[in-house]
Amino acid sequence: MTPQVAIRVTVWGEGLEQQAPEANRIYPDGIHEAIAAALRAELGEAALVRTATLDGPEHGLSSEVLEATDVLAWWGHRAHEAVDDAVADRVVQQVLDGMGLLVLHSSHLSKPFLRLMGTRCSLRWRNDAEREVVWTVAPAHAITEGLPPAIVIPEHEMYGEYFDIPPPEELVFISSFSGGEVFRSGCCWTRGKGRVFYFSPGHETFPVYHQPEIKRVLANGVRWARRRSSSTETTSSPNSRAGWYEAQGRSVSEQRWQDDAAAH
Ligand code: ZN
Protein backbone atom coordinates (compact mmCIF):
# COMPACT_ATOMS: atom_id res chain seq x y z
CA MET A 1 0.00 0.00 0.00
CA THR A 2 1.39 3.41 -0.90
CA PRO A 3 1.42 5.79 2.07
CA GLN A 4 -1.01 8.69 1.77
CA VAL A 5 0.69 12.04 1.20
CA ALA A 6 -0.11 14.41 4.06
CA ILE A 7 -2.29 17.43 3.26
CA ARG A 8 -0.28 20.62 3.87
CA VAL A 9 -2.55 23.06 5.72
CA THR A 10 -1.85 26.69 6.62
CA VAL A 11 -4.26 28.29 9.10
CA TRP A 12 -4.24 32.08 8.80
CA GLY A 13 -5.63 34.34 11.49
CA GLU A 14 -5.38 38.01 12.37
CA GLY A 15 -3.96 37.14 15.79
CA LEU A 16 -5.72 40.19 17.24
CA GLU A 17 -8.95 38.76 18.65
CA GLN A 18 -7.31 37.43 21.83
CA GLN A 19 -6.54 41.03 22.88
CA ALA A 20 -10.19 41.33 23.92
CA PRO A 21 -10.75 39.74 27.36
CA GLU A 22 -13.94 37.88 26.40
CA ALA A 23 -12.17 36.22 23.43
CA ASN A 24 -8.92 35.70 25.34
CA ARG A 25 -10.73 33.51 27.89
CA ILE A 26 -11.82 31.15 25.08
CA TYR A 27 -8.90 31.47 22.63
CA PRO A 28 -5.82 32.59 24.62
CA ASP A 29 -3.47 31.82 21.70
CA GLY A 30 -5.81 33.18 19.04
CA ILE A 31 -8.45 31.46 16.94
CA HIS A 32 -5.89 30.32 14.35
CA GLU A 33 -4.11 28.20 16.98
CA ALA A 34 -7.41 26.67 18.15
CA ILE A 35 -8.31 25.74 14.56
CA ALA A 36 -4.82 24.35 13.94
CA ALA A 37 -5.02 22.23 17.11
CA ALA A 38 -8.45 20.94 16.07
CA LEU A 39 -7.17 19.96 12.62
CA ARG A 40 -4.10 18.21 14.07
CA ALA A 41 -6.31 16.26 16.49
CA GLU A 42 -8.87 15.32 13.82
CA LEU A 43 -6.54 14.57 10.92
CA GLY A 44 -3.46 13.19 12.69
CA GLU A 45 -0.75 12.13 10.27
CA ALA A 46 -3.02 12.86 7.31
CA ALA A 47 -2.18 16.56 7.61
CA LEU A 48 0.77 18.87 8.29
CA VAL A 49 -0.66 21.99 9.90
CA ARG A 50 1.06 25.34 10.41
CA THR A 51 -0.20 28.81 11.26
CA ALA A 52 0.41 32.34 9.97
CA THR A 53 -0.76 35.74 11.21
CA LEU A 54 -1.18 39.32 10.07
CA ASP A 55 1.95 40.62 11.85
CA GLY A 56 4.41 38.34 10.04
CA PRO A 57 6.34 39.43 6.93
CA GLU A 58 3.87 39.23 4.01
CA HIS A 59 1.38 38.18 6.74
CA GLY A 60 3.16 34.80 6.80
CA LEU A 61 1.84 34.09 3.30
CA SER A 62 4.88 34.35 1.03
CA SER A 63 4.83 32.70 -2.39
CA GLU A 64 6.93 29.86 -0.96
CA VAL A 65 4.43 29.22 1.85
CA LEU A 66 1.40 29.30 -0.45
CA GLU A 67 3.01 27.06 -3.06
CA ALA A 68 3.60 24.54 -0.27
CA THR A 69 0.00 24.85 0.96
CA ASP A 70 -2.74 22.46 -0.17
CA VAL A 71 -5.45 24.12 1.92
CA LEU A 72 -5.47 27.62 3.41
CA ALA A 73 -7.94 28.29 6.24
CA TRP A 74 -8.72 31.99 6.79
CA TRP A 75 -10.19 33.69 9.87
CA GLY A 76 -10.35 37.49 9.94
CA HIS A 77 -12.66 40.08 11.46
CA ARG A 78 -11.23 43.43 12.52
CA ALA A 79 -8.36 43.88 10.09
CA HIS A 80 -9.57 42.95 6.59
CA GLU A 81 -8.29 46.29 5.25
CA ALA A 82 -4.86 45.76 6.80
CA VAL A 83 -4.25 42.75 4.54
CA ASP A 84 -1.88 43.75 1.77
CA ASP A 85 -3.49 43.74 -1.69
CA ALA A 86 -0.53 41.82 -3.13
CA VAL A 87 -0.99 39.05 -0.56
CA ALA A 88 -4.73 38.87 -1.24
CA ASP A 89 -4.05 38.63 -4.98
CA ARG A 90 -1.47 35.91 -4.36
CA VAL A 91 -4.03 33.88 -2.40
CA VAL A 92 -6.56 34.27 -5.22
CA GLN A 93 -4.01 33.15 -7.84
CA GLN A 94 -3.11 30.12 -5.74
CA VAL A 95 -6.78 29.15 -5.49
CA LEU A 96 -7.11 29.40 -9.27
CA ASP A 97 -4.04 27.14 -9.50
CA GLY A 98 -5.61 24.53 -7.22
CA MET A 99 -5.10 25.51 -3.56
CA GLY A 100 -8.16 24.89 -1.39
CA LEU A 101 -9.57 27.77 0.69
CA LEU A 102 -11.67 27.53 3.87
CA VAL A 103 -13.30 30.88 4.58
CA LEU A 104 -14.48 31.09 8.17
CA HIS A 105 -17.12 33.26 9.88
CA SER A 106 -16.45 37.01 9.50
CA SER A 107 -13.97 36.27 6.72
CA HIS A 108 -16.95 36.65 4.38
CA LEU A 109 -15.61 40.22 4.07
CA SER A 110 -11.95 39.22 3.65
CA LYS A 111 -10.18 40.46 0.53
CA PRO A 112 -9.52 37.00 -1.00
CA PHE A 113 -13.14 35.88 -0.58
CA LEU A 114 -14.57 39.14 -2.00
CA ARG A 115 -12.28 38.85 -5.02
CA LEU A 116 -13.12 35.21 -5.62
CA MET A 117 -16.88 35.79 -5.31
CA GLY A 118 -17.18 39.13 -7.12
CA THR A 119 -20.23 40.15 -5.05
CA ARG A 120 -20.65 42.21 -1.84
CA CYS A 121 -20.81 39.15 0.45
CA SER A 122 -22.81 41.27 2.91
CA LEU A 123 -25.25 39.67 5.34
CA ARG A 124 -27.62 40.42 8.25
CA TRP A 125 -26.20 40.03 11.78
CA ARG A 126 -26.99 40.44 15.49
CA ASN A 127 -24.69 39.45 18.35
CA ASP A 128 -27.14 38.42 21.07
CA ALA A 129 -25.91 34.95 22.08
CA GLU A 130 -28.77 33.10 20.37
CA ARG A 131 -29.09 29.40 19.68
CA GLU A 132 -27.96 28.41 16.17
CA VAL A 133 -28.93 25.08 14.60
CA VAL A 134 -26.70 24.10 11.66
CA TRP A 135 -28.79 21.77 9.48
CA THR A 136 -27.15 19.35 7.06
CA VAL A 137 -28.78 19.71 3.65
CA ALA A 138 -26.28 17.55 1.71
CA PRO A 139 -26.01 14.26 3.63
CA ALA A 140 -23.95 12.58 0.88
CA HIS A 141 -21.37 15.39 0.72
CA ALA A 142 -17.81 14.75 1.96
CA ILE A 143 -18.05 17.75 4.30
CA THR A 144 -21.02 16.29 6.22
CA GLU A 145 -19.51 12.83 6.67
CA GLY A 146 -19.90 11.55 10.23
CA LEU A 147 -22.03 14.48 11.35
CA PRO A 148 -25.47 14.45 12.99
CA PRO A 149 -28.47 15.81 11.02
CA ALA A 150 -28.17 19.08 12.96
CA ILE A 151 -25.42 20.70 15.04
CA VAL A 152 -26.69 22.83 17.91
CA ILE A 153 -24.52 25.79 18.93
CA PRO A 154 -26.06 26.89 22.24
CA GLU A 155 -25.00 30.55 21.96
CA HIS A 156 -23.79 32.32 18.86
CA GLU A 157 -23.92 35.46 16.78
CA MET A 158 -26.79 35.49 14.25
CA TYR A 159 -25.86 35.63 10.57
CA GLY A 160 -28.94 35.90 8.34
CA GLU A 161 -30.09 36.26 4.75
CA TYR A 162 -29.80 37.92 2.41
CA PHE A 163 -26.19 36.75 2.08
CA ASP A 164 -24.92 38.46 -1.10
CA ILE A 165 -22.91 35.60 -2.66
CA PRO A 166 -23.05 33.92 -6.06
CA PRO A 167 -25.32 30.84 -5.84
CA PRO A 168 -23.22 28.11 -4.23
CA GLU A 169 -22.37 25.18 -6.50
CA GLU A 170 -23.10 22.96 -3.50
CA LEU A 171 -25.06 24.03 -0.44
CA VAL A 172 -24.02 21.89 2.51
CA PHE A 173 -25.51 23.59 5.62
CA ILE A 174 -28.39 25.94 6.37
CA SER A 175 -28.58 27.52 9.83
CA SER A 176 -31.64 28.64 11.74
CA PHE A 177 -31.59 30.98 14.73
CA SER A 178 -33.84 31.45 17.73
CA GLY A 179 -34.73 34.90 16.37
CA GLY A 180 -36.27 33.23 13.29
CA GLU A 181 -33.62 34.02 10.68
CA VAL A 182 -32.07 31.44 8.34
CA PHE A 183 -28.65 31.51 6.68
CA ARG A 184 -26.70 29.52 4.07
CA SER A 185 -23.96 28.60 6.54
CA GLY A 186 -22.01 26.01 4.50
CA CYS A 187 -21.36 26.82 0.83
CA CYS A 188 -19.02 25.33 -1.79
CA TRP A 189 -17.66 26.76 -5.02
CA THR A 190 -14.91 25.96 -7.47
CA ARG A 191 -12.73 28.77 -8.83
CA GLY A 192 -10.27 27.75 -11.54
CA LYS A 193 -8.72 24.51 -10.27
CA GLY A 194 -9.38 25.37 -6.62
CA ARG A 195 -12.17 24.60 -4.19
CA VAL A 196 -13.65 27.17 -1.80
CA PHE A 197 -15.71 26.32 1.31
CA TYR A 198 -17.39 29.04 3.36
CA PHE A 199 -18.49 28.00 6.87
CA SER A 200 -20.12 30.67 9.03
CA PRO A 201 -19.93 29.47 12.68
CA GLY A 202 -16.97 30.90 14.61
CA HIS A 203 -17.54 34.21 16.41
CA GLU A 204 -14.61 34.89 18.74
CA THR A 205 -16.60 35.31 21.96
CA PHE A 206 -18.20 31.84 21.84
CA PRO A 207 -16.32 28.50 22.11
CA VAL A 208 -17.54 27.32 18.69
CA TYR A 209 -14.16 25.96 17.53
CA HIS A 210 -13.92 23.84 20.71
CA GLN A 211 -17.14 21.99 19.80
CA PRO A 212 -16.46 18.44 18.51
CA GLU A 213 -18.90 18.55 15.55
CA ILE A 214 -17.46 21.88 14.40
CA LYS A 215 -13.94 20.43 14.49
CA ARG A 216 -15.21 17.59 12.34
CA VAL A 217 -16.65 20.04 9.79
CA LEU A 218 -13.28 21.82 9.55
CA ALA A 219 -11.39 18.54 9.07
CA ASN A 220 -13.87 17.35 6.45
CA GLY A 221 -13.57 20.72 4.75
CA VAL A 222 -9.79 20.36 4.54
CA ARG A 223 -10.10 16.87 3.03
CA TRP A 224 -12.66 18.09 0.49
CA ALA A 225 -10.78 21.26 -0.52
CA ARG A 226 -7.26 19.80 -0.72
CA ARG A 227 -5.21 20.63 -3.78
CA ARG A 228 -5.61 18.02 -6.50
CA SER A 229 -3.26 17.46 -9.40
CA SER A 230 -4.81 18.23 -12.75
CA SER A 231 -3.48 18.11 -16.28
CA THR A 232 -5.94 20.74 -17.48
CA GLU A 233 -4.01 23.79 -18.65
CA THR A 234 -5.55 26.97 -17.24
CA THR A 235 -2.61 29.30 -16.74
CA SER A 236 -2.56 30.59 -20.32
CA SER A 237 -4.92 31.13 -23.25
CA PRO A 238 -3.02 29.72 -26.25
CA ASN A 239 -4.03 30.70 -29.77
CA SER A 240 -4.58 27.22 -31.25
CA ARG A 241 -4.63 26.50 -34.98
CA ALA A 242 -7.32 24.18 -36.34
CA GLY A 243 -6.39 20.52 -35.90
CA TRP A 244 -3.75 21.21 -33.23
CA TYR A 245 -5.18 18.57 -30.91
CA GLU A 246 -5.11 15.76 -33.49
CA ALA A 247 -1.63 16.85 -34.58
CA GLN A 248 -0.46 16.64 -30.97
CA GLY A 249 -1.98 13.16 -30.61
CA ARG A 250 -0.25 11.92 -33.81
CA SER A 251 3.14 13.11 -32.67
CA VAL A 252 2.69 11.30 -29.35
CA SER A 253 1.76 7.99 -31.06
CA GLU A 254 4.62 8.36 -33.59
CA GLN A 255 7.01 8.84 -30.70
CA ARG A 256 5.64 5.72 -29.02
CA TRP A 257 6.11 3.71 -32.27
CA GLN A 258 9.72 4.91 -32.53
CA ASP A 259 10.34 3.98 -28.88
CA ASP A 260 8.86 0.51 -29.48
CA ALA A 261 11.00 0.03 -32.61
CA ALA A 262 14.14 1.07 -30.69
CA ALA A 263 13.34 -1.46 -27.95
CA HIS A 264 13.18 -4.40 -30.39
ZN1 ZN B 1 -18.60 37.50 14.49
What pTM was computed for the model?
0.91
* Ligand 1 center to 26 CA (angstroms): 14
Asked whether residue 35 is domain-assigned, the answer is yes
CA 45 vs CA 3, 18, 57: distances in Å: 11, 29, 28
Q: Give the total residue count for the chain.
A: 264
* Ligand 1 center to 229 CA (angstroms): 35
- CATH number at 134 reads 3.40.50.880
* Ligand 1 center to 156 CA (angstroms): 9
Per-residue pLDDT band for 232 (boundaries 50, 70, 90) equals: low
Question: Among 45-49, 150-154, 243-247, where is mean pLDDT lowest?
Answer: 243-247
Per-residue pLDDT band for 173 (boundaries 50, 70, 90) equals: very high
* Ligand 1 center to 204 CA (angstroms): 6
Per-residue pLDDT band for 257 (boundaries 50, 70, 90) equals: low
* Ligand 1 center to 202 CA (angstroms): 7
Asked whether residue 247 is domain-assigned, the answer is no
Counted domains in the chain: 1
* Ligand 1 center to 205 CA (angstroms): 8
pLDDT tens digits along 114-158: 999 999 999 999 999 999 999 999 999 999 999 999 999 999 999
Do 57 and 87 contact (CB within 8 A), yes or no?
Answer: no
- The partner residues of 13 in beta bridges, in order of sequence, read 53, 75
CA separation for the pair 148, 213 (Å, rounded): 8
Q: List CB contacts of 201: < 8 A, sequence separation 6 or more.
A: 105, 132, 134, 153, 156, 175, 185, 208, 214
* Ligand 1 center to 174 CA (angstroms): 17
Asked whether residue 238 is domain-assigned, the answer is no
Domain span at 132: 7-225
